[in-house]
Amino acid sequence: MADIIQLLPDSIANQIAAGEVIQRPASVVKELLENAIDAGATSIQVILKDAGKALIQIIDNGCGMSETDARMSFERHATSKIRDAKDLFCIKTMGFRGEALASIAAVAQVEMRTRQHIHDLGTRIVIEGSAVKTQEPCQAPSGTTFFIKNLFYNIPARRNFLKSDSVEMRHILDEFQRIAIANPEVHFTLHHNNNELFHLPSGNLRQRLVSIFGAQSNKKLVPVSEETDVVRINGFVGKPEFGKKTRGEQFFFVNNRFIKSAYLHHAIMSAFENLLPDDAYPMYVLFIDIDPSRIDINVHPTKQEIKFDDERLVYHYLRVSVRHALGQYAVMPSLDFDAEPTFTGYETAAGRQNKETKPAADNRSEKSDWGRITPPQNFAAPNASSNLQNWKKLYEGLEENDGDAPESAQASITIESAATETETESATEQGTFGGSQKLPYQIHNTYIVSHIKSGFLLIDQQAAHERILYERYLELFEKKEAGTQQELFPRTLRVSPADAEVLREMLPQINMLGFDIQDFGADTFVIHGTPADVFAGDDSQKTIEKLLEQFKSNLELKLDLRDNIARSLARSAAIKRGKVLTVLEMQELIDKLFACQMPFKSPTGRNCFITFDLDELRRKFES
C-alpha cells in the first residue's frame, strides 16, 4: 500500500492551533494586549467595532519590530521571548509560545504597522488566512498597530458560533480589565463603536481600581502587603461590609499574570470567615509574586491555570496575609499604628500621580510601599507569636502617652488612681478593679477593660475565649499533640441512643484534642481523661453534654466535622460571661486573644472586643 501520511500545510496547522488559542474576539484582545505589554508600551489604545467581530485595533507605543521580525512574528513558534527549554522555568513575559500572531493571522484579515523608534520608516504587513498579501515600508508612529478584521471570516462555523455583541463585549472587557489592573502604570483607552468606555490614566494600583470600579470603590479597599522568603503578596481586599452576592471582582495575579484558582479563592473566603454575610463574596485584587521556577505556567494555552510546586504554602500565606490586612483595618480607624502616616499619606501624595514617566519597575516598589501600612514584621513564619508582636504595638508607649495625654484624659486617670488608693492592693490582686491603668480589669464580670495607647479595649471575655479555644483546637487537629489529663476516677457518661451515635462519630476527633473517652457500648461512654490545659477543674460530663448540644445545632451550618467540633467545644468549654477572673487570667486571655489569627470575632460571629478612642470620647463629652 502506498504511504498515506502527509504533513499538513501551514495554513491548516495554524488554523488548528488557532482553535485552541483564539476562541473569540476577547482572545485576540488578550493576546495583542499582552504583546503590547511585553513590548514595553506605556500607552495602549483599543478600538473595537461590533464587539470585535468587525474590527479589533490595538495601538501601542512599545519597542516595535524590525522589518525581518515583523515578518517572522507571524510564523508559528516564532518568539523573541524564550530561546531554550530552561527559559520555560523563568518566564517573565506574558507571551512565550509564539503562537498568537500565527493563530490570529490564520483566522482573520490582519494588518500590522510597526516601527522601531531608531528607524524613520516602519513596516506594513497585510496577511489573511496565513497568506501574506503585502509587505512594504510605511510611515508609522513608533510602536505597533494591529488591525484585526472579520475574525473567523474563513471559518463560517466558528463565526456563527460567536455569541451576541453584548456577550462578546463582556468577555473582552474581562480580559481588558485584568490586563489594565495588572499594569496600572500603563495608560489605556478602550473605544467601542465610537464610544469611549475606558480612559485609564497611568497611576498606582489604587488609582487604577478606582478608575475601573468607580470613585465609590476607594473607601472599600483594604491594602494587603506581606512578604516571605517564598512569596510576596500585595494588593487589596474589599471591606467585608461591601461583599457582593455575585462574583466578578475577584482577581489573582501570579507574577502579574491573571489566574483562576478555586483553591486559592477558598483561602480568601476562609480569611473572611464570619465577617461576610452568607453567600456574599469579597472583592479582592491580589498579586502573588513568586520565583518563576516554583510555578509552571505551561499548563494551558490560554494560561489562566498555573501549577505551584507548593500550593498549600501559597494558600496558607494568602490566608494569613488577608487576615492580617483585615485585622489592621478593623482597628485602624481608632488605633494608631506607627505606620498610619503612610496610610493617610498615600491617598493624597501628589507625587504619585506623576507615574507616566516612571519605569515599570518603580511601580512594583510602590506596591511594596504599602508594606508600611502593616507594622513592620518578620513574615517568614506567620504564626501566633508574630501576630502577637503586632498587637503589642497597641500597648507600646502607653506610659509616655499618658504623660502628654490631653487634659480630659489626665483628669480621668487622676480620678481612677484616687479610687485605687482607697481600694488598696487586695482589689488589684483579685483583678476585679482597675488598680493601675496598665492592669486590665473586669466590669460586670463580663467585659475586660484593657488600656492601649490611644484609648482602651473592651473585651467580651466569653467571645474572646471561644475564639482562643477554637483556633487552638483547629491547630491541635493539625499537630496532634494535645496533652491529656487523666481523671483519677474515670467517669461514666450516659446519653440518649441518638446522641450516642453522634458522639461515636465525633470520638476519634475529640480524642485528638486531648480527651480520652472510650465507647463502652449501649449508649455509655467512659471519660478517662480531658485536655490537660483547658479544663482545670471543670465538670467533664457537663462539657461533653454541652458539646453534643452545640454540635447538633451546628449541623445545619454544614461545617466539616472538625470545624464543627472545634466550634462546639470552644463554645461549651469557654469561660462564661459572669465568671470572675483574676488579673493574671485576664492578662493571659488578652495575650492569647491577640495571638490568634483572627482575634476580632468569635467563631459564631460575635465581636471579641470593641475599641474606644480617647479623642472620640472627648468629643462625645463636648457635644
Using CB under 6 A as the criterion, which residues of the chain lie in contact with ligand ADP when the complex forms?
31, 35-36, 39, 60, 62-65, 73, 78-81, 95-102, 144
**Quick check: 371 binds Mg ion (CB under 5 A)?**
no
Strand partners for 47? 57, 191
Contact between 22 and Mg ion by CB under 5 A: the answer reads no
Least Å from the CB of residue 177 to Mg ion: 19
Task: For cell 494608631, name the residue.
Answer: 336
Shortest distance in whole angstroms from residue 91 CB to Mg ion: 12
Residue closer to Mg ion by CB (options 62, 223) is 62
Name which of 35 and 420 has its Cβ closer to Mg ion: 35
What residues does 200 pair with on adjacent strands?
Answer: 188
Nearer to Mg ion, 33 or 457 (CB): 33
Supply the DSSP symbol for 294: G
- For the bound state, the minimum distance from the C-beta of residue 82 to Mg ion, rounded and expressed in Å, comes to 11
C-alpha torsion sign, points 79, 82, 88, 93: negative
63: partner contacted, choices Mg ion, ligand ADP, none (Cβ within 5-8 A by kind): ligand ADP
**CB closer to ligand ADP, 22 vs 513:** 22
302 close to 171: Cβ distance less than 8 angstroms: no
> Minimal distance in Å, beta carbon 93 to Mg ion?
8
Question: What is the rounded distance in angstroms from the CA atom of residue 126 to the CA atom of residue 137?
Answer: 12
Question: In this complex, which beta carbon is closest to ligand ADP, that of residue 57 or of residue 73?
Answer: 73
Residue 467 beta carbon to Mg ion: minimum distance, rounded to whole angstroms:
49
Phi and psi, residue 579, nearest 5°: -90, 130
Burial of 545 (0-12, 13-18, 19+ CB in 10 A): middle
| Residue with Cβ nearer ligand ADP (36 or 267) | 36
Rg (CA), the chain: 31
CA pair distance 353, 92, nearest whole angstrom: 27
Binding string to Mg ion for residues 31 to 70, with x set by CB under 5 A, is what? ----x-----------------------------------
Q: With CB cut-offs between 5 and 8 Å by kind, which of ligand ADP, Mg ion, none does residue 413 bind? A: none
Q: How far is the CB of 111 from ligand ADP (least distance, A)?
A: 13
Q: How far is the CB of 361 from ligand ADP (least distance, A)?
A: 19
With CB under 5 A as the contact rule, the residue among 100, 107, 394, 548 that binds Mg ion is: 100
Name the burial class of residue 481, with classes exposed (0-12), middle (13-18) and buried (19+) by CB atoms within 10 angstroms of its CB: exposed
Which one of Mg ion, ligand ADP, none interacts with residue 119, CB within 5 to 8 A by kind? none
Contact predicate 33/175, CB 8 Å: yes
Distance CA(374)–CA(225), nearest Å, equals: 7
The residue count for binding Mg ion (CB under 5 A) is: 3
Alpha-carbon distance values, 94 to 36, 37, 78 (Å): 10, 8, 15
Looking at residue 405, its amino acid is A
CA distance 460 to 437: 19
The window from 100-108, 294-302, 398-406, 453-461 that contacts Mg ion (CB under 5 A) reads: 100-108
Binding site for Mg ion (CB under 5 A): 35, 95, 100
